[in-house]
Amino acid sequence: MNRGFWSELKKPIMVLAPMANVTDAAFRRIIAKYGKPDVFWTEFVSVEGLLSVGREKLLIDFWHTKEEKPIVAQIFGGKPEQFYEVAKLCVELGFDGIDINMGCPDKGVEKSGGGAALIKDPARAQEIILAIKGGVRDVGSAIPVSVKTRLGYNKNELETWVQALLKAEPAVITMHLRTRKEMSKVPAHWDQMRTMVELVTRYTNRDTRPLLFGNGDVMSVEEARMKVAETGADGVMLGRAIFGNPWLFAKDPYSNVLENIGVSERLQVMVEHTKLFEELYGLNSSFSKGGGRRPEDLNPSRLRRTPFTKGRIKPFDLMKKHYKAYCNGFDGAKELRVKLMEAETAAEVEELVSLFLKKS
């Protein structure tokens, strides 16, 4: 089995979950600066969309810089032949690995045959893994293929589902420790992570065993290390814990505790994050600059700027979910959040923060 860059990482491996409209290039670059995880994932992107007219807007989500490496491209869909073609694109764009989303419960994603729908079609899931491997191989590369999925669809199908995945030999399996039916409404079943480790150990050998990551409800690196010790997992994927906390993965155990970061620093980083978001996705996007890996047809002048985005590549309102997280747990946070919800530019955000810090 080809594990690629994964074999070079020291365990336990701590990685950042892909989250649509959250872990974009701007936020990843802020995280890379203040608390870089062992591996980044991109936001997930449709393989069908990447092969369609107007793909420029989707390609934005694949733009990355060397500071974010190693970085894995996450893709979703239901047709193996489309995964084959997109695998070649991922190699061209310089990704270190490719991950298949086999767990998203979104009805639109499932309608395409992707996401959690693949749990109900193990044979096609295997075909997709093999199709990506074929696409990678046919352009002379060997980047590894991984899978992010769930325990089952309507019920726990861990044993049969994982056995099916193992036949295609993915380099990594990340298990969101809930079923599709459970969504995120119940606590993650971390007891099933140990079961999974034992299962995979039984059905594989050292040469064919994938790395195994758990995902769900973990809010700190310290807690993640405890989960690894308890279950035998190779690593943990953290998601929601990153909101308002780009220091989450900091190697310094003091810095990765948000309570140890002063209010002024938190707000200044929020402003920095906002400026970067506006630089990349705003009215005067700099996506053609910066040396990031991108295809030649990713030309900002060709990107679709809708009335909803008010002339921007991405709407400024996407930043506001971050403001809710950055502005939390300190005196005056609620009042500042209310004002930030009305802001429309990075300059307005910077002015609001400056006034707040002068008064506090």
Is 194 annotated among the ligand-binding residues?
no
How confident is the model over 114-150, as pLDDT tens digits?
999 999 999 999 999 999 999 999 999 999 999 999 9
Helix (H) / strand (E) element for 355: namely helix 346-359
Instruction: Tell me what the pLDDT averaged over the chain comes to.
Output: 92
Of 216, 298, 225, 267, give the one whose Cα is nearest residue 25. Answer: 298
pLDDT value for 253: 77
Q: Band the pLDDT of 289: cuts 50, 70, 90.
A: very low
By mean pLDDT, which of 165-174, 230-239, 297-306 is the weakest?
Answer: 297-306
Of 247, 271, 251, give the one whose Cα is nearest residue 260. Answer: 247
* Domain residue limits, the chain: 4-258, 263-359
Please give the Cα distance from 112 to 52 (Å, whole number).
Answer: 14
Q: CB neighbours (10 Å) of residue 44?
A: 24
Of 204, 222, 224, give the one whose Cα is nearest residue 214. Answer: 224
Q: Are strands 235-238 and 13-16 parallel, antiparallel or unpaired?
A: parallel
Is 239 annotated among the ligand-binding residues?
yes
Per-residue pLDDT, averaged over 246-255, amounts to 88
By mean pLDDT, which of 298-302, 309-313, 316-320 is the weakest?
Answer: 298-302
Q: CB neighbours (10 Å) of residue 322?
A: 21
Is 19 annotated among the ligand-binding residues?
yes
By mean pLDDT, which of 14-23, 25-34, 113-122, 248-257 is the weakest?
Answer: 248-257
Per-residue pLDDT, averaged over 195-205, amounts to 97
Is 79 annotated among the ligand-binding residues?
no
This prediction has a pTM of 0.92
- Which residues does the annotation mark as catalytic? 104
pLDDT value for 287: 57
Burial of 300 (0-12, 13-18, 19+ CB in 10 A): middle
Please give the Cα distance from 97 to 136 (Å, whole number).
Answer: 10
Question: Both ends of the chain: CA-CA distance in Å?
Answer: 57
Per-residue pLDDT, averaged over 219-248, amounts to 98
- The CA angle 347-320-23, to the nearest 5 degrees, is 105
Is 33 annotated among the ligand-binding residues?
no
Contact 343, 318 (CB under 8 A): no
pLDDT value for 162: 99
Q: Is the confidence at residue 297, as pLDDT, over 80?
A: no
Contact 63, 113 (CB under 8 A): no
Kindly state the tokens that stand for 128: 């997709």
Is 268 annotated among the ligand-binding residues?
no
Looking at the chain, the whole-number percentage of residues with pLDDT higher than 70 is: 92
Q: Scanning the structure block, which residue is given the tokens 């092969």?
A: 51
Q: Band the pLDDT of 308: cuts 50, 70, 90.
A: very low
pLDDT value for 346: 97
pLDDT value for 2: 80
How confident is the model over 321-344, as pLDDT tens digits?
999 999 999 999 999 999 999 999
How confident is the model over 92-111, as pLDDT tens digits?
999 999 999 999 999 999 99
Please give the Cα distance from 39 to 57 (Å, whole number).
Answer: 24
Please give the Cα distance from 78 to 113 (Å, whole number).
Answer: 4
4-258 CATH pick, 3.40.1280.10, 3.20.20.80, 3.40.50.720, 3.20.20.70: 3.20.20.70
By mean pLDDT, which of 75-79, 207-211, 285-289 is the weakest?
Answer: 285-289
DSSP per-residue codes, 45-104: EEHHHHTSTTTHHHHGGG-B-GGG-SEEEEEE-S-HHHHHHHHHHHHHTT-SEEEEEE--
How confident is the model over 24-77, as pLDDT tens digits?
999 999 999 999 999 999 999 999 999 998 787 788 889 899 999 999 999 999
Residues listed for the chain: 360
Task: Output b/e per residue, 207-224; b: 16+ Cβ within 10 A.
Answer: eebbbbbbbbbbeebeeb
pLDDT value for 311: 61
